[in-house]
Structure 1
Amino acid sequence: MPDTGSRLPAAPPLPMRDGIAASRVYLPRGPWKTLGEFLPGRFPHVPAEIIARRLAQGEIVDGTGVAQRADSAYRAGMWLWYYREVPDESVLPFDLPILHQDARLVVVDKPHFMASTPGGRHLRETALTRLRRLLALPDLTPLHRLDRETAGVLMFCADPAARGAYQSLFQARAVVKEYEALAPLPGGLALPLTRRSRLEDVRGCFVVREAPGAPNSETRIELMGLDGCPDGMARYRLLPLTGRKHQLRAHMSALGLPIVNDGLYPRRQAATAPDDFRQPLQLLARAIAFRDPFLGIMRRFESTRSLRLSQ
C-alpha cells in the first residue's frame, strides 16, 4: 500500500484546546487490520479500556477531522490526531513571571520544577501551556528549553513569521547564555576552565554520560565566590557554548563538583522520584543575550531569581 498520507495536513484538524495543541501519531506499514488492533500496542502505558473509550467517543480523528473507531480500517501512511491526557497531573504552586513581551518575543522567569513544554507526566503545568492560555497566544512556540529542574530565563516566539530568524541565532551559537550554580568548593581545581567532552545518552535512563570520542559539548566554568554560600559550597558561573541535554549538570559532576540537590549527577534517585519543593536543583539560567535580528540592537534578559538553600 503506498504511503499516500504521510504528509501532514496544512493545519491540524483539531484546534488548540485550553492552551494544549493536538498530538499526532503516524501509522507505519504493518500487519494490523483495524485501529483497535494497533493503538494498544503503540501506547502500551495507556490502559486498553481508555483507548477503547476514546475511540468510542470519537476523540481520535484522521487528518481531515473524521472520528475514527476501533473497527476503522488500518491505513498505513496516515496520521491520527488526539488530545493527550494526564489525569493525575499535580498543580505547581509557582508563578511564571513575564520579564518581557512584545509582538515577537515573550521572555519568562521559569521556576524550578516546571517543564518548558508538554511531555511525559507534564502537560498543563508547563511554561508553554500556561503562557498560551494566559496570553491567548495559540501560536506561541519555544525558542529553546530548560530542564524541568532548572529555573531562569526562557524565551518564546509569539510570531510564527519571526521564529526562523530567532532560531537561527541559536543554531549559529550567536546567543550568549549565562547560568549560575551552587556546588562544592573546587578544592585543587584551577578555575576558570573550559570542559569539552562527548556526551551520549545512557540507554534506558534519562541521563547522559561522558564517552570517548570527539567532543560535542563545551562549557566554561568560573568561580564567582563564596559570599552567601553554606560552608563547603561555592557559587559558579557556567557559560555553555553548546546546548546538549543535561550538559551543565554532567560537566560539573564529571569535575567532582555536582550541583547541589542534583539527584541524577551523580545518580542518587530515580528520575521518577517525587518532587521535593524544599530542595530545588541549585541551577539558574541567569541571563540570555543576543543581537536582535529585527531591531539590530543587543538585548539582554536577566532572571530576578536567586539561588538559596532551605534552612
Structure 2
Amino acid sequence: MNGGTPYLVPWPAMHLPLPAHLSKLTGLPHMQPQQFTLPQFTHFTLPGGQVYPINQMTLPPTLFTQNMVTHLPKIIMPPTDSPGLLINGFPYPAKLAEKRKIIEEIAHNDVKKAKIETKALKAKRPGFTDDRYGETSYYVEAGLRKVYPYYFTFTTFTKGRWVGEKILDVFAREFRAHPVEEYERCILDGTLTVNYEQVDTEYRLRHNDLLANIVHRHETPVLSKPIELIHLSDELVVLDKPCSLPVHPCGRYRHNTVVFILAKEYNLKNLRTIHRLDRLTSGLLMFGRNPKKARELEQQIRNRQVMKEYVCRVDGEFPPGRTECCQPVEVVSYKIGVCKVSVHGKECRTEFERMNFNGKTSVVLCRPFTGRMHQIRVHLQYLGYPVMNDPLYNHTVFGAEKGKGGNIGKSDEKLISDLISIHNAENWLGMDGDSELSMFNKSDLADDPALGSSGCVVPVHSVHHNNFDPANPIGCIENNPLVPRNCTITRPPPITRPCRSPVVLRPPLEAAPISSLTYNDELLTKFGEYRYSPDKMTWDPNCYECKVRYRDPKAKDLVMYLHAWTYKGPDWQFQTRLPPWAEPNWEQPENEKK
C-alpha cells in the first residue's frame, strides 16, 4: 500500500516477513493475535475463515517496516461475525475486475475529497464578494482617474515544485521583488500565511497549501473619462469604453477596470463577458446580465454571424476604395502581447475602406472577419499604414519600415528582447496583465536601468521598510521629513483576522492642495466626491511602492486612435458615436503628440 491506496499484484508473488510486526497488527480495530496465522509467511487468516495472500509490492520492503502503522489502518478489520476483510469500508472482492473497480472507487473518493477541500479554501479567498468593491475609492487629479492605495490579499496554491520546501526558501527564490528579510518579517507578522493560518519560517509546504500575502496595493492611473452606457436591459449592457481602461482586473489594474467601475458607479455587478477590447482601444463593449444571453451572443461572434466595424486613423494617404488583407497572423509572445504576419500564423482576413484624408493622415473603416489578437493593427502595419499613435506596431523596433510587408529583419527572440529593453512593459506594450507580475511580485522592470529615460519610475531615498520597528511605530515616523504629511499612516491587520480594519498609526497632518486642472474635469463634475481626500490616502512604512515616486502617464501614452464603432448581429445592432479624431478636419492635440 502507498499513500492509503491498495496496490494489487499478480499471485504467486514474493512474501514479506511480518512476524516482527505482529504487535503492530494487533493494534488494529477488532484484531486479536489469535485471529490470524502466518504459515510460512505466505498468507494470513482473518476473521471469517478466509485466507488472504501477503503480496510483495513493487516498493522497497523498508516502506512496510517504516510505515506499518501509517498504512495498515487503511485496511479496516471486520468484527468476528463479519464476512471478511474490508478495504476503506469496501468488502474485499474475489474477482480481479471487482478489485479494480474498488481501487477506482477509492481513488475517485480521494480526488473528490481533495476537490472539496480546495473548493473550501477558494471560498475563503478574498475578492469574490461585494466587499471587494468597497476596498478603496477613486480620486481625480490632472485628468487622470486614480485609486487610493489599499490593502489586498494575493493568493496562490502551492506549485508542485515547491512541495517539501521551506516557505521562506520558496519566497526568497521565486519572488525576488523584496529581500528575504522582508518575507521573513511578513511571515512572523502574520501577513504571509498558509491556509490563512500563521506559520513559522521553517514550515515546509504541502500539496494544496494556499499561500496568502497581504500587500499595500497601488494601481496605475487611467484617463478620467466617464463610461457612457449605450443600451441597458435585463439581459444586456452595452457601453462606450474609454481608451486606457482594461476590461477586467489584471496586472496592476483592479478597481481601474470596466467591470469594477460599472459595479461601483452604476451598480451593475456579476456581468458576463461576451467579447473584449484591448486596453488602449476605445469603443463598443457588451456584457451579458445572465449566462444564457452571454452564451448566445458569444456563440454568434464565434460563428462569425456578427459584423464588426472599427474606425482608426493611420499614417499617410490610405488608398481609396476597399483594400483587403488576408495575411495569417502569428502570436510572437503571449506574455507581452505581440503579433506579426507569418506563414506559420492562423488564417486572418480584414477589409479596409478609406473614409477621409486630411493631407497627412487617413481615417479608415476596418471590418475584421476573423478575431485574431491585434488583427487590425498587425494588418495595417503590414500594409504600411500603421495606426498613427500605435505605441507598439508603429515603431522602428520592427525595422526601418516599421514592419511593412512583414519585413522585420530579426528573430522573434531578438524582437521580444528589443521591445522589453526599449520601452516600459506596461505603458508601452499595453499589456493587460502578466501572471508573473500579478501575484506576489512587483515588476522586475522597475529596476531596469534601460527604463531610466522613460520617466515612469523615479526611486527616492527614504526610510527603508526594514528600518521600521513595529515595537515603536510612532517613533519611526515622528519628525521624519521623508514621511508625507498629507496622508494617513497605516499598517495592515494580520491576515489571520481579515475582518479587522488597517491599523492607523497617524492621521493626516495637513490637506494637500487640489490641482486646478481637476475643476473642469468631466468625471469630477459628475462625481464630486472624487476630489482628493487625505483621510483616504494611506501610506505604509513597510510598502516599497509608497517610497517610489511614479510620474503620471501622459495623455499620449494612454490614447490610441482605434475605436470599436459598430456591432451588428442577426437581429440586433449597436453603434457608438464617432470619436473626435475621426472628423475630416481634425488636428492632433499637442498633448497627444509623440
TM-score by length of 1: 0.79
Deviation at 1:210, TM superposition (A): 1.5
SS of corresponding position for 1:196: coil
Amino acid at match of 1:277: A
Give the counterpart of 1:117 among 230, 233, 248.
248
Q: Could you tell me whether the CA contact under 8 Å between 1:89 and 1:123 is conserved in 2?
A: no
SS of corresponding position for 2:261: helix
Deviation at 1:217, TM superposition (A): 2.5
The aligned counterpart of 1:155 is 286
The aligned counterpart of 1:290 is 569
Deviation at 1:265, TM superposition (A): 0.6
Distance 1:303 1:84 in 2: 41
Structure that is richer in helix per residue: 2
The aligned counterpart of 2:165 is 33
Cα offsets for 1:12-65 (capped at 9, x unmatched): 323330178986523221244344443454444466666566654457674xxx
The aligned counterpart of 1:294 is none
Percent of aligned positions that are identical: 22
Q: Which stretch of the first structure deviates more once superposed, 6-15 or 121-130?
A: 6-15
SS of corresponding position for 2:563: strand
Give the counterpart of 1:301 among 571, 575, 585.
575
Give the counterpart of 2:554 among 272, 276, 281.
276
The aligned counterpart of 1:170 is 301
Alpha carbons of structure 1 residues 239 and 188: separation in structure 2 relative to 1, 3 Å: closer
Amino acid at match of 2:224: P
Give the counterpart of 1:101 among 232, 236, 242.
232
Deviation at 1:78, TM superposition (A): 4.9
Cα offsets for 1:160-195 (capped at 9, x unmatched): 454323322222222222100111344668732233
Distance 1:127 1:186 in 2: 35
Q: Which stretch of the first structure deviates more once superposed, 9-18 or 231-240?
A: 9-18
The aligned counterpart of 1:12 is 123
Distance 1:143 1:19 in 2: 26
Alpha carbons of structure 1 residues 30 and 267: separation in structure 2 relative to 1, 3 Å: same
Distance 1:117 1:164 in 2: 18
SS of corresponding position for 1:181: strand
- Gap regions ≥5 residues in structure 2: 4-109, 136-151, 397-421, 429-455, 457-552
Structure that is richer in strand per residue: 1
Q: CA RMSD in A?
A: 3.5
Give the counterpart of 1:241 among 369, 377, 382.
369
Distance 2:233 2:181 in 1: 45
Q: Could you tell me whether the CA contact under 8 Å between 1:140 and 1:159 is conserved in 2?
A: yes
The aligned counterpart of 2:392 is 264
SS of corresponding position for 1:129: helix
Q: Could you tell me whether the CA contact under 8 Å between 2:240 and 2:285 is conserved in 1?
A: yes
Q: Which stretch of the first structure deviates more once superposed, 157-166 or 52-61?
A: 52-61
Q: Which stretch of the first structure deviates more once superposed, 23-32 or 91-100?
A: 23-32
1:250 has 2:378 as partner: yes
Amino acid at match of 2:254: L
TM-score by length of 2: 0.44
Larger Rg: 2
Deviation at 1:261, TM superposition (A): 0.7
- Gap regions ≥5 residues in structure 1: 292-296
Deviation at 1:251, TM superposition (A): 1.0
Q: Which stretch of the first structure deviates more once superposed, 29-38 or 6-15?
A: 6-15
Q: Could you tell me whether the CA contact under 8 Å between 1:191 and 1:221 is conserved in 2?
A: yes
Alpha carbons of structure 1 residues 177 and 30: separation in structure 2 relative to 1, 3 Å: same
Cα offsets for 1:81-104 (capped at 9, x unmatched): 677864153253221111122222
Cα offsets for 1:97-153 (capped at 9, x unmatched): 111222222222111111122222222211122112223344123321111111111
Q: Which stretch of the first structure deviates more once superposed, 201-210 or 233-242?
A: 201-210
Cα offsets for 1:221-251 (capped at 9, x unmatched): 111222xx3x221110111122222211111
Cα offsets for 1:236-272 (capped at 9, x unmatched): 0111122222211111011100101112113356243
Amino acid at match of 2:566: A
Alpha carbons of structure 1 residues 12 and 163: separation in structure 2 relative to 1, 3 Å: farther
Distance 2:561 2:341 in 1: 22
Q: Which stretch of the first structure deviates more once superposed, 146-155 or 13-22?
A: 13-22
Distance 2:194 2:294 in 1: 29
